[in-house]
Amino acid sequence: MSGVRSATSGRDGHGGRSSTSRGRRVVELVRRSTRLVWSCSPRLFVALVALQIVAAASLGAQVLVVAQVLERILDLTEAGVTPGLVWSVAALAGLMALGALIAVAQGSVRRLLGELVARSMNEKVQDVATTVPLRNFEDPEFFENLQRVRQSAMTRPFQVTQGLFTVIGTVASSVAVGAALVALYPWLLPLLAVGAVPVLLTSRRESALEFRFTVAQTTNQRERTYVNYVQTNRDEAKEIRAFQVSPWLRDRYRALYDSYLEALRKHLGRRLRLATLGQVLSGVVLVGTLLLLVVLIANGEVGVADAGAAIVGIRALQGQIQGLVGGVQQIHESGLYLDDLEAFFRHHADEATGPAGADDLPPFDGARIEKVSFRYPGSGTEALQDVTIEVGRGEVVAVVGENGSGKTTAAKVLAGLYEPDAGDVLWGETPYAKLSQDDLRSRVAVIFQDFVRYAFSATENIALDRAGIDARQDPAGREDVRAAARAADIDGALSRLPHGYATRLSRMFDDSADLSGGQWQRLAIARAFYRDADLVILDEPSAALDPRAEHDLFSSLRTTLRGRSALFISHRFATVRGADRIYVMDSGRVVESGTHTELMARRGLYAELFELQAGAYFPDGWSSSAP
């Protein structure tokens, strides 16, 4: 992640760059923006450029027609209203109307293009976020970068599009109006160009300030978003009320916002001072140009009609140059974010691809983690130390241990979600690292304690898109989806929903329904059963189940698995008894393993925990002959 940081920090666009390299940077940014926008829709790109050219030509023509109109108006007393005057006025009105119409069309096309560019960038960010190794999500710096690029991907590509077309349009219009001005008086144009320089320079500095401000505020922004989310999210709503947390959260939100606003005020003050400096200097040059025009009229070197048209032209050109400066500023400002986005994509591209020339996944013949150690990024202690856990073909294996002993971490390593720092993770005898991650994921089904409750239909929640589009809307549920639901004993409840399997499971949307905690858990188990995986990993699958459901689940587990292997984590020793092998974890290590009978005979940690739990049911003393 530090790579992303270094790719963005210090890139303020100034840093002692010469004006040639600054010019090159703008050209390079225009080239990249053009490529980006073009790749999203060549057709709209061409349409927009064509519109810009027509708009520019109409603006240049307007200046010349104004000269004609003024000349004929000055002739009015001698010649009266001539057809030439009427035609000139009509041409001027027509050109102005055309300009206005083109502006409306440009607005629409720009908006569409902007959305297409934003979609493409957002999809790239989503691709990275959903494919990088899970370990990244343990790293605050990754989150920070992800948050920033996610935000920039939403708005900045749109701005690049806007900026690019503003530049194209204003350059074309400036050329057209400039040509008209040169025709009226050759020296006006260079003077006006000089006037634009101060604004150009200060606007570049403003862009750099803006980027630095955004980067500096990312942490604050993330925390505000989180506090806002907690206060407005459905899952948190009950606890917020029960624990009366809202005043504390509100204060926290307010404090974060205050600190952001203070920084924003300072930042805006700096931008305003810079903008004022640029505008004042450019204004001085413009006043000089207009005074020159007055002198030229007084000396009779320029006619009154031409001078009038020149003033109209200068006004138009000034508008174009300001637009050009704004466009360059927009591109430059967004360019810094584009760099940031591209650095993020580049940095994570290799991670997402997995091993080159991955081996074919051999038929399943057991999987194991062997002498594995693992430390979470930024954590001082090892979550796993020298851990070996094996699941043979057709075996049902359990992992038990106290909170924080490393069970979930071991399951994630076995599922191929975390790479260990030391030791091996093997599919049969092939290390996971040599296998295609996609193939591996398709052969392992994992249900975590905190499985996701998708606000989609029941079918989609089980099949996760594998059932096909039609099945999602089918209240009766497709047979394979129902078979998985039956195995997890949730078919009845889903069939009774208002739209059966097509019911959307969330109260967030109209015409939807929600399930109880235990029903959700059964649905998650159905999700694991639905996948045709060789290895099923269930992390506390029965935590929310009632005793009957739990008994049913485990008594039928082997039948349901139909010869597939399973590793399950549980705190309930009654469910663990029937496992082929039980691993007992303590402080990141496997301290015991064996069958229930073997472990009880050892009189170690397993026997202690088992008897502790059993004792709660049999306070007068538990014996292995108890029911």
Ligand X SMILES: Nc1ncnc2c1ncn2[C@@H]1O[C@H](COP(=O)(O)OP(=O)(O)OP(=O)(O)O)[C@@H](O)[C@H]1O
Q: How far is the CB of 412 from ligand X (least distance, A)?
A: 8
The whole-angstrom separation of Cα 332 and Cα 330 is 5
The whole-angstrom separation of Cα 108 and Cα 101 is 11
Residues of this chain, 126-145, that bind ligand X according to CB under 6 A:
138
Q: How far is the CB of 232 from ligand X (least distance, A)?
A: 25
Closest to 390 measured CA to CA, from 362, 366, 364: 366
Estimate to the nearest angstrom the gap between the alpha carbon of 66 and the chain centroid: 51
* 486: three-class secondary structure by DSSP: helix
Q: How far is the CB of 408 from ligand X (least distance, A)?
A: 3
Q: How far is the CB of 355 from ligand X (least distance, A)?
A: 25
Contact between 550 and 348 (Cβ < 8 Å): no
Nearer to ligand X, 403 or 623 (CB): 403
Contact between 542 and 449 (Cβ < 8 Å): no
Nearer to ligand X, 355 or 404 (CB): 404
Residue 267's H or E segment, with its range, is helix 246-298
Site string for ligand X, 387-426 (x = CB under 6 A): --------------x-xxxxxxx-----------------
Q: How far is the CB of 150 from ligand X (least distance, A)?
A: 21
Q: Which residue has the tokens 């006025």?
A: 89
Nearer to ligand X, 190 or 404 (CB): 404
Nearer to ligand X, 378 or 619 (CB): 378
Contact between 437 and 416 (Cβ < 8 Å): yes
Nearer to ligand X, 127 or 139 (CB): 139
Nearer to ligand X, 313 or 406 (CB): 406
Q: How far is the CB of 409 from ligand X (least distance, A)?
A: 3
Nearer to ligand X, 104 or 616 (CB): 616
Closest to 185 measured CA to CA, from 290, 58, 71: 290
Nearer to ligand X, 139 or 474 (CB): 139
Q: How far is the CB of 575 from ligand X (least distance, A)?
A: 14
Q: How far is the CB of 410 from ligand X (least distance, A)?
A: 7
CB-based burial label for 457 (10 Å; 0-12, 13-18, 19+): buried
Q: How far is the CB of 405 from ligand X (least distance, A)?
A: 4
| Cα end-to-end span (Å), the chain | 56
The whole-angstrom separation of Cα 102 and Cα 122 is 30
Q: Confirm or reject binding of residue 376 to ligand X (CB under 6 A).
A: yes
Residues of this chain, 225-284, that bind ligand X according to CB under 6 A:
none
The Cα-based distances of 13 to 152, 296, 333, 422 in angstroms read 18, 41, 9, 43
Task: Tell me the CB-side half-sphere exposure of residue 345, using CA atoms within 13 A.
Answer: 16
Nearer to ligand X, 365 or 419 (CB): 419
The Cα-based distances of 307 to 373, 445, 449 in angstroms read 83, 79, 79
The whole-angstrom separation of Cα 625 and Cα 617 is 14
Closest to 11 measured CA to CA, from 441, 359, 340: 340
Nearer to ligand X, 170 or 405 (CB): 405
Binding ligand X (rule: CB under 6 A), the pick from 21, 39, 246, 379 is 379
Q: How far is the CB of 406 from ligand X (least distance, A)?
A: 4
Please give the size of the binding site for ligand X, defined by CB under 6 A.
12
Find the part of the chain contacting ligand X (CB under 6 A) among 144-152, 375-383, 458-466, 491-499. 375-383
Nearer to ligand X, 68 or 405 (CB): 405
Q: How far is the CB of 243 from ligand X (least distance, A)?
A: 22
The whole-angstrom separation of Cα 568 and Cα 576 is 9
Nearer to ligand X, 404 or 615 (CB): 404
- Strand locations in 382-490, DSSP E? 384-391, 396-401, 422-427, 430-431, 444-447
Which amino acid is located at 151 in the chain?
Q
Q: Which residue has the tokens 């996609």?
A: 438
The Cα-based distances of 176 to 56, 60, 71, 314 in angstroms read 6, 5, 21, 12
- Using only the alpha carbons of the chain, give its radius of gyration: 35
Q: How far is the CB of 133 from ligand X (least distance, A)?
A: 13
Binding site for ligand X (CB under 6 A): 138, 376, 379, 383, 401, 403-409
